[in-house]
Amino acid sequence: MAFRNLEEFLNVLERENELVRIKEYVNPNLEIAEITDRISKSKDGGKALLFENTGYDFPVLMNAYGSENRMCLALGVANLNDSAKEIENLFKLLSSPKENIIDKLKLLPKLGQFASWMPKVLSGKGECQQIIMHDPDITKLPVITCWPKDGGPFVTLPIIHTKDPNNHSRNVGMYRMQVFGPKLTGMHWHKHKVSAKHFNEYKKLNKRMPVAVALGGDPVYAYAATAPLPENVDEYMLAGFLRKKKVELVRCISQPDVEVPADADFIIEGYVDPDEELIWEGPFGDHTGYYSLPDWYPEFHITAITHKKNPIYPATIVGIPPQEDAWLGKATERIFLAPIKMTLVPEILDMEMPVEGVFHNLVIAKIQKDYAGQAQKVMNAMWGAGQMMFNKILVVTSPNSSKGEDPETSVLTNYANVAKEVFKNLNPSTDIYFSQGPMDVLDHSCSKMGFGGKMCIDGTFKYDEEKDDLFSSMPCRFTTQSAQELLQLFPEVKAVNCSLIEKEISCLILSVEKNKKYHIKELHNSICQLQSIEGVKMILYVEQTVDVNDLPVALWRFCNNLDPKRDHFIVKKQLSNSGQYVACIGFDGTLKTKQFDDFYRDWPNIIIADDKTIHSVDEKWPKLGLGDFIPSPSLKFKGQMYGEETVAN
């Protein structure tokens, strides 16, 4: 479904009881973000929020994509799997054998549809250019400041348009923009991104790079800007396919080489000069739940700002999950499952990216397994597939076809059942594979920025060729009494979560207070000598401040803080005179320091609201029309902070 503009989408949300209009004054500096954080973490993602009284001329829309229902409404589908099925059917039609003229003619309607999705450049001006700021000033827009240690206000939902100066191919991406002045922002594109490649090409040519930023319009544009498309695929082709109508573009006023959606609410035009010094941008409370620390990025000089009459300023916040961006990620998981299946990993049956893994950190893949080593084949294919190169932990599972299990019955969202099956099939000493390669530059656990370790856990059923007959997959005998013994023997262990053992998942989670060099490795070796540990296949270590009984939080912290290749320790223990052995692997998911870990990068803090903002929102809550009082989610994390600054101390 195509929306004429963002206002029409809001009307649909209101009709579906998915929108709350907030008429009370709310400050874009921290207060909007705090309210949104409370709502986005409420049941089913809460509702979309339209802040109509911000002290600026324009209302602010938040949490528009923050639930499965709103994400489906934005994409015009009843279910997120609908688009995936349509893409899969299209792939099958295009790739099927064409034996005669009739088979080929059957393609024509689909090809005609495909042509109708291609973006079109209109002549003249668009709705987005109804009002032209004669003296462009981005500080007149209600750009929000999200978190107390952010470097300043950030544009958080920008749809950024650049072109390759050689072949003029368009890229549409989403990169945060820190506001430094009326006509100056940062342009936070990472080195792996296509816009950064365009920037490097302009640098070679010694030419200014024209850039245009759209805000608003059909909600599918923002999704398309985040989608992991190949470099040569125009994001507006995907948008056209999803909305079943071509995207209409118009040329910018001051940067006419760049085209933007005619129905956008705001357009910010400008340029980046490759010859200029970079600007010190950040910090920023990012989607990992930690601050991304300051670094050098290009300056974006604003040459024009235009907008439609009565525009809406869209924004989002990211931080400790769950947040609105989880649903953008879920859409990508569903929509891009079909292309991965059809072109790279035909044996894949399903894929899941748990919210605790904040996109790249943790991916679960279910495959149809037909031969030994197939999980490793899938591992290599997925780590070579576009943005999957950033994946840190890949878990591969499968139905057991040797026992006649139906490939479609197991559901990946039932994490307990998936983990039970994975651990049943797992030999920690042979079925976990380690590699290293490019990582998300926001991954603070890497010893070197943007380069670190990754692992694949092969939790598929095993053919005889894959088994080590000397490995004993003995039942786990660890009990709550064993946990008390462990706490008494090792005073640095502050808490033990053995609830997974009770679900036949042979994994412990321990919180530890580190106090010496290589402490976790030595501790793991000692713990594995206990008889009660025999049968435990994995131990996850987190910091003493983390509540190990809050599984979602413990896993979020663990995944963020782990470099799997560097931070794992495997212990094999012989069982009497039988020749058999048990194995237990430990993973250090604690903060890394120079003192204890020879880690030389700054370690960022987690993101929470400040007391002043929390109190201010508490006072305003009865006037906001948001129902029963919701306390600040930040309160539960205050004890997990590493001091008060953006860098841990």
Q: pLDDT, tens digit, for every residue of 582-593?
A: 999 999 999 999
Helix (H), strand (E) at residue 269: strand 266-272
432-438 and 451-458 strand pairing: antiparallel
Quick one: tokens of 112?
A: 């005609």
**Could you report the per-residue pLDDT of 561-617, keeping only the tens digit for each?**
999 999 999 999 998 877 899 999 999 999 999 999 999 999 999 999 999 999 999
State pTM to two decimals.
0.92
Question: What is the C-alpha separation between 423 and 404, in angstroms, rounded?
Answer: 20
Residue type, 393: I
- How far apart, in whole angstroms, are the C-alpha atoms of residue 617 and residue 213? 31
Instruction: Name the residue type at position 204.
Output: K
Per the structure block, which two tokens stand in for 371?
Answer: 């031969």
Flag whether pLDDT at 43 surpasses 60.
yes
Cβ-Cβ contacts under 8 Å for 580 (sequence gap 6 or more): 470, 471, 472, 574
pLDDT at 405: 56
Tokens found for residue 216: 């608003």
- Nearest one of 165, 163, 166, 145 to 154, comparing CA atoms: 145
Cβ atoms of 307 and 203 within 8 Å: the answer is no
pLDDT digits (tens, 9 = 90+) for 477-519: 899 999 999 999 999 999 999 999 999 999 999 999 999 999 9
Which residues in 164-217 belong to E strands, given as ranges? 170-173, 177-181, 184-186, 209-215
Beta strands 295-297; 279-281: pairing state:
antiparallel
The per-residue pLDDT for range 368-388, each reduced to its tens digit, is: 999 999 999 999 998 987 788
Query: What's residue 286's pLDDT?
Result: 95
How does DSSP classify residue 434?
A: E
**What tokens does 273 get?**
């000069």
Contacts of 625 (CB under 8 A, 6+ apart): 20, 21, 22, 23, 24
Q: Assess contact for 575 and 598: CB atoms under 8 A.
A: no
3-state SS class at 15 = helix
90 falls in which pLDDT band (50, 70, 90)?
low
Q: Fill in the DSSP letter of residue 531.
A: G
Q: Kindly tell me if the per-residue pLDDT of 403 is higher than 90.
A: no
Q: How far is Cα 444 from Cα 143, in angstroms, rounded to an integer?
A: 27
3-state secondary structure of 27: coil
> Cα–Cα distances in Å, from 293 out to 282, 558, 575?
6, 20, 48
- Residue 458 appears among annotated catalytic residues: no
Secondary structure of 473-507 in HEC code, one letter for each residue: CCCCCCCHHHHHHHHHHCCCEEEEECHHHHCCCCE
Query: Please, what is the angle between helix 325-335 and helix 68-75, to 10°?
Result: 60
Residue 535: exposure state from Cβ atoms within 10 A (0-12, 13-18, ≥19): middle
| Residue of 286, 325, 440, 563 marked catalytic | 286
For the chain, what is the mean pLDDT? Answer: 91
